[in-house]
A and B are shown apart, each in its own frame.
Chain A
Amino acid sequence: MIRFENVHKRYPNSREALSGVSLNIEKGEMAFLTGPSGAGKSTLLKLIALIERPTRGTVVVNDRNTSRISRRGIPKFRQRIGIVFQDHKLLVDRSIFDNVALPLVIAGLSRREIERRVRASLDQVGLLERESHPPLALSSGEQQRVGIARAVAGRPDLVIADEPTGNLDPALSLEIMRLFTRFNDVGVTLLIATHDLDLLGHLDYRRIELVDGKVNYDSASE
């Protein structure tokens, strides 16, 4: 599903954020990306979503070499990926329903299909009865669940999440992670960046640790 081959990334006027990362995440796998601040976790996820481009090396996502995807091809490519952000990135002037519906509207689904899928998604994150509320009427944890509902509403092959529990207390964090594991149970591939090592103690999934832009540890290669 995701393959990095000796990937380097250097931002302008900055030291290398990634230096020679190689890794492979299979379809249907769920993996956590850990490491200290500045290790390059966010950078790695941005390369997958084509928010950034590698300076060197190859990133293959869903059998597509991302270097062959032009600017114009990015929207279609991103429609196959669900992205969850630490700060939710919800549109505050639209209802919960409209937020979750956004990727489906973009994909051009019919109104009936959109309603069906949005409700199914909101039901999965337990917020069905809040669909007409604005995002700011919800708690931070609830807003994060809306973000997750939006990420999975389009039934993506892959979900990536950058610190999805960054602002949440341990109980809520665990709840969010359990949500992710449920999606993984139905076959969604997930890659989740987090620095919350305590949380990972509760979860028996693959762990990839980055340090200084390199893979320091990978539980799959033990």
Chain B
Amino acid sequence: MLKRYFSLHLQNLVGSLGRLARQPFAAILTGLVIAVALALPAGLRVLVNNVDVLSESWESVADFTVYLEFSVSEQRALELSNEIEARNDVTQVQFITRDDALEEFRSASGFGEALDALDENPLPHTLVVRPVSEELINVEALADYLHGLPETQRVQLDTEWVARLRGILDLGERFVDIVTILLGLGVLVVIGNTIRLEINNRREEIVVMKLVGGSDGFIRRPFLYLGLWYGFLGALGAAMLIALTLLLLREPVATLASLYGSRFSLAGLSFSEFGILVGLGAILGWAGAGLAAARHLRSIEPS
């Protein structure tokens, strides 16, 4: 009995695929619509994931800005800059004199006239220290060292923009969630509508099935499998669209990354993400077909 049940389902699974193959143009068109609708949220997710990875690598190379005491002379500051640069956990130290800092502030802030009103430059000498390692432990050791210097007034780790980026990323993820839900609903409607048309086209067949004793479940089943195929194949199409896009972007991204001395490369869908995409597509297809069948099959009765 169970075997028979499964063989009936298998028959339906294969049969509905055959039905798709019999009208390939319409099927491909619908499949493409579904693929694009699924590729959009999935692609956005891939994008967010990539920026996420990128931002993590940026976070560990964030610079320290060391504000020196006002009493420190330019001579001493330069010495200090060289001392720090000699450390093997430091790549580079940029020395910004008070005058340079003021000049920069003046042009960047637009408070030029207000600054002119001051008799004295309110800014200290500044060292911008770029750590070498991407391991946090070292960065902390370096931070402790910089804090401990008698000439240091204040140390600031320039992660603010990274934090800001993270904030934007969080927002982006939320946005992608909403897009996913909306386009998921869209797929549900597209498949539901396709199945509705299919049910309409097969009105006579449905009537005959009802006349020879076909139950609602029996009549519904091929339509559910049709929806399943649409969702499944649409999701495969979406995965292909994403892979194709990444392929097209690979070269320019590598070129861009190399300009920044990075070996960053775009990551595609992970295996589990691919599984989720395809599974979700299939479920949406099944559900969309189920909704259409529940709504329209009942109204078709022999007369």
Contacts and interface: CB of A to CB of B under 8 A. Distances in A.
Partners in one complex: yes
Interface of A: 49, 51, 72, 75-79, 83, 85, 89-91, 102-103, 105-108, 110-111, 150, 154
B205 A83 contact: no
A138 to B, nearest CB: 17
Contacts of A77: 213
Nearest to A102: B212
Nearest to A89: B208
B88 interface: no
B7 A75 contact: no
Q: Name the residue in A51, A75, A107 with the highest tally of chain B Cβ atoms < 10 Å from its Cβ.
A: A75
Say what secondary structure dominates the interface of chain A. helix
Contact of A106 (B7, B204, B214, B302): B214
A181 B154 CA distance: 108
A207 to B, nearest CB: 26
Given A83-B211, A102-B209, A106-B215, 17 more contacts: A49-B211, A51-B303, A76-B215, A78-B211, A78-B212, A79-B212, A83-B212, A85-B211, A89-B208, A89-B211, A102-B208, A102-B212, A103-B213, A106-B214, A108-B4, A110-B4, A154-B213
Interface of B: 4, 7-8, 204-205, 207-216, 218, 301-303
A162 to B, nearest CB: 11
A183 B178 CA distance: 64
A91 B214 contact: no
B215 A75 contact: yes
B198 to A, nearest CB: 13
B211 A111 contact: no
Contacts of B4: 108, 110
B211 A106 contact: no
